[in-house]
Structure 1
Amino acid sequence: MEPLFDFLGSYWWLAFPLMGVASGFGGWWSKQSKERHKRRLELIKAKSEARSIEMQARAQLKAAKAQDGPAHDVEASDAASRHDRLKRLMATHDEVMHRWLDYELDVAKLIAFPTMSDGRQPLTAAFLRAKKVADGLRPPSADVRIDAETLAEYRDAVHDFEVAFDVAEQDARRVRDSGFTETERKRLDRAQQLLRTAVDQSATAAERQVAYKRVREELDGLIVLSDDAVEVLEKQVAPELEAGKTPLQPPRAEA
């Protein structure tokens, strides 16, 4: 042991640097341990929060399913929404059709606003084209299953149909018979007066038939009446035709 004591006695001053090194190493190790412990605590906390969020999401989803039921999932809700929108679109389509038929089947209105029956007029032609497109895209009923793209296409067609009709109607009411010559306007006026007699049930059947034929003569070459309009007019002139009597004869063209 004496050599060791001799060495320590000779190099006692080395104790101080070694103590410093030991102290520094101990401090570093302690710091690293604290950092590792801190990271473990943070990781445990993060995992706990993630688990809590996951459990909350599952609980909310379970509650939503319990409230809505399997028949009210997202897809069913979207289909129901499309069904409602389709019903509204078809109702708008029908409304514009009825407005158009008010002109198409009413000879008195056609005489007052003749451009509504004239497909040569640009605005009327545009309306008729829009009508054809909307009619072609119209589903057979509001109960059919329809995808979003098809619904959007039909929606745009109905909108175009409605706008085109509004524009054509406004223009027809603005210009009225201004596109006709003075002689043609007089013929339209006579046709309007004769039409009142033709549908006047207080007049005799002979008077109504004569007036009807003259109405057709005055309108010939000015306004084209559809077959449906003629049928409606004939029933107004002679309601008894429904009982099977001889139908009214249109005026014959002169040779």
Structure 2
Amino acid sequence: METILLVMSSWWWVAPAAAGAGAATYAGLTTRSRRARRLELDAARHEESQAYRALVAAKARVRTAQAEALTTKSAGPVRAYDARRALQAAKQAERNASLELRASRSRVKAGYSQYRAAAAHDPLPIERLCAVHDAVNARWLAYETDVDKALAHPQMTDTRHPATVAFLLAQREALSKRPMLRDRVTPQQFAEYRVAVRHLEAAFDEAERQAGVPGAARATSPAAATAASISAAATAIAELADRLPSLLAKLPQPRQGEPPAGRVP
């Protein structure tokens, strides 16, 4: 009995230490799983912060261009024209940055909703993204392994064609961005890999479209078309506002002693 008491008094710390180690391991695994499931949401938040910084920088460039345009008014028509063009480009960049910030905030909301609705058995965001990457590679390998498809569309395997070269470059970029350890992916790495996979999909679709593959052409989304129309209209209005003073200056002035046009003396 004394021996048992002696052993228990000497090794009493083993049980609490084992329990603490087990709890720490369980907490670490739970935290890692939770971080992996909200990886897409964290990546969207990372993109939102980047878009916000880009908008702040674009606003600063607009202020600089406005100051430059004011100082070059009396420096000659050439410098004044260049300053107005630079101001117009800065304002367009600011509008694009504002639209990108709005889109990033929408992605954050979508990522949060998707994270809240995800179940424990659903695939992780990095697994879904790797599956999309593998699907594009499988579509590409079909032209390399299927003789009928290779003969029907030889352009898809022709490395001299620009669209095929663009796809191969996008494929190499996506492969370089693909994480090796999926359980240690940071939000920035996930965002970069997602952008590379999207470019890969777009490059492959364009290569198939130029190769004449049936059903490869995809129509532009209504949101993208609307954004392009708004951007083009804003650019046209800005150009008209810049050219309006010069157009008014070219109008013939009424002669001395003659009434303005449309009035009867």
> How would you bin the TM-score normalised by the shorter chain?
0.3 to 0.5
Normalised to the residue count of structure 1, the TM-score between the two structures is 0.38
Higher-Rg member (1/2): 1
Normalised to the residue count of structure 2, the TM-score between the two structures is 0.36
Taking CA–CA contacts closer than 8 Å with sequence separation of 6 or more, which of the two structures ends up with the larger relative contact order? Answer: 2
